[in-house]
Chain A
Amino acid sequence: MGAAVSLDLERQRAEALAIAGEVCDPEVPVLTIADLGVLRDVRIENGRIEAVITPTYSGCPAMNLIALNVEVALEEAGFTNVKVTTVLSPAWTTDWMSEEGKAKLAAYGIAPPRAKAGRRALFGEEVVACPRCGSANTQKVSEFGSTACKAHWRCRACAEPFDYFKCL
């Protein structure tokens, strides 16, 4: 703790930001909250550390655990007086996800969101590449998958069922 306190404010902030950013999404453990763009900011004021997070979806049940894990990670690193705040605005979109995060998702077997997919018309189909074999010959099974942020797809070429991190 002593080392952290002796650092100047900006270095402390950068350190806290890096530590908080390494907390993983409990539902997609391959992604950190920095990859996801869920961690918005870390502020230090009057010895108080405030980490600001934002939900991917309004009802995302992982938010409570993420907030707790951020608090624990910062305290374990020696920071005291930690507070985690949730903000809704500006609204999170898949554009907040880092390119590194998208690459990690694909390697993990989840098709990453396609940048700026925009809004589709009724029954408008997206083309999503299979994260296993890369084929574009894939099919949407359901727009709603294992978590609020994912859709359920399958590959017609290699028969792999897979999750697609849907565009928001």
Chain B
Amino acid sequence: MRASKDAIAPCSSERDGSKTLTETPLFLVTLRLADDALILGHRLSEWCGHAPVLEEELALANLGLDLIGQARSLYTHAGAIEGAGRDEDGLAYLRRENEYRNVLLVEQPNGDFAATMVRQLIYSAFMHPFHRAMASSKDATLAGIAAKAEKEMAYHVRHSAEWVIRLGDGTEESHRRAQDALDALWPYAGELFEVDAPMRAAIEAGLVPDPESLRATFDATMTEALAEATLTLPKLGSFQTGGRAGRHTEHMGFLLAQLQYMQRTYPNAAW
């Protein structure tokens, strides 16, 4: 990302959870999608130099690159909607933890390879149909970003599903690890479907799809992959939530410390 030439982003009044004037539903849903993509893209970049085999080294970097590319387009759009002079870098690097609106799933640590692939499968099984539906958004820019991202996410679903199947239906050890990963991460899947007031407004305005309309597709992808993988979904009564309101897990601060280090240490550093 190009470094920001602008001053550090103004502090908003979000600390106490109240809304600023600029937080229109369009801005908020765009920002949330951007944060999801950036944070997961950053997590994948942490695999650089650590992947189990060379092919996966390339694959994980490629998946991360797709997501960071999507995030760049979304942040640029969010900045234009907001009209306060924040560009993609201002939004990506210069906000506080409680101003990031990503779901908790994407900030969960990489864990072992099984955990990374299970996390990727849950996210892409949801985001692939989401982008496919958002390609007909009434917001032309969101529609354009989604039409592009949908093609990329199709690869992500297939790649992560193939690995979850190999691991789940592999050795006793890989099965145990894949099942442990699913047990640990499944509680974060529900948040993807959450609809709060701004999201409801964006759905009603035809800007983004209603996640509920994607549930059958999501369930079918997960069921097919997990059945082949001989893995079992844990039974849950509730799910983890809070990311959309800026309440994150303990992992987020450490992630941001690394993500923001350069811009915080050398403000406005440029490539």
Cβ–Cβ contact B159 & A57, under 8 A:
no
Say which size band chain A's interface belongs to: 20 to 34
A116 at interface by CB-CB < 8 Å? no
Contact with A along B107-143 (1 / 0, CB 8 A): 0000000000000000000000000000000001101
A38 → B minimal CB distance (Å): 13
Interface residues of A in 153-168 (CB under 8 A from B): 166, 168
A36 → B minimal CB distance (Å): 15
B62 at interface by CB-CB < 8 Å? yes
B269 at interface by CB-CB < 8 Å? no
Cβ–Cβ contact B55 & A58, under 8 A:
no
B201 at interface by CB-CB < 8 Å? no
Cβ–Cβ contact A123 & B147, under 8 A:
no
Cβ–Cβ contact B55 & A59, under 8 A:
no
Cβ–Cβ contact A146 & B55, under 8 A:
no
Cβ–Cβ contact A123 & B162, under 8 A:
yes
Contact with B along A123-157 (1 / 0, CB 8 A): 10000000000000000011111101000100000
A21 → B minimal CB distance (Å): 22
Interface residues of B in 9-66 (CB under 8 A from A): 55-56, 58-59, 61-63, 65-66
Which residues of B sit under 8 angstroms from A93, Cβ to Cβ? 151
A60 to B65, CA, bound (A): 8
Q: Which of A57, A92, A119 has the most CB of B within 10 A?
A: A57
Cβ–Cβ contact A58 & B70, under 8 A:
yes
A60 to B136, CA, bound (A): 24
A6 at interface by CB-CB < 8 Å? no
Interface residues of B in 141-199 (CB under 8 A from A): 141, 143-145, 147-149, 151-152, 154-155, 158-159, 161-162, 165
A14 to B149, CA, bound (A): 32
Nearest residue (CB) in A for B54 is: A142
Nearest residue (CB) in A for B66 is: A59
Residues of B within 8 A of A (CB): 55-56, 58-59, 61-63, 65-70, 72-73, 140-141, 143-145, 147-149, 151-152, 154-155, 158-159, 161-162, 165, 224-225, 228
Residues of A within 8 A of B (CB): 55, 57-61, 87-93, 119-120, 122-123, 141-146, 148, 152, 166, 168
17 further A-B pairs in the complex, CB-CB below 8 A; given A90-B147, A143-B159, A168-B151? A57-B152, A58-B70, A58-B148, A59-B67, A87-B144, A88-B144, A88-B145, A88-B147, A89-B143, A122-B158, A122-B224, A142-B56, A142-B59, A144-B58, A146-B58, A148-B65, A166-B155
| A-B pairs with beta carbons under 8 Å apart, 29 shown | A55-B69, A57-B65, A57-B148, A58-B70, A58-B145, A60-B69, A88-B73, A88-B147, A88-B148, A89-B140, A89-B147, A89-B148, A90-B147, A91-B148, A119-B154, A120-B158, A122-B158, A122-B165, A122-B225, A141-B55, A142-B58, A142-B59, A144-B59, A144-B62, A144-B159, A146-B58, A152-B58, A166-B155, A168-B151
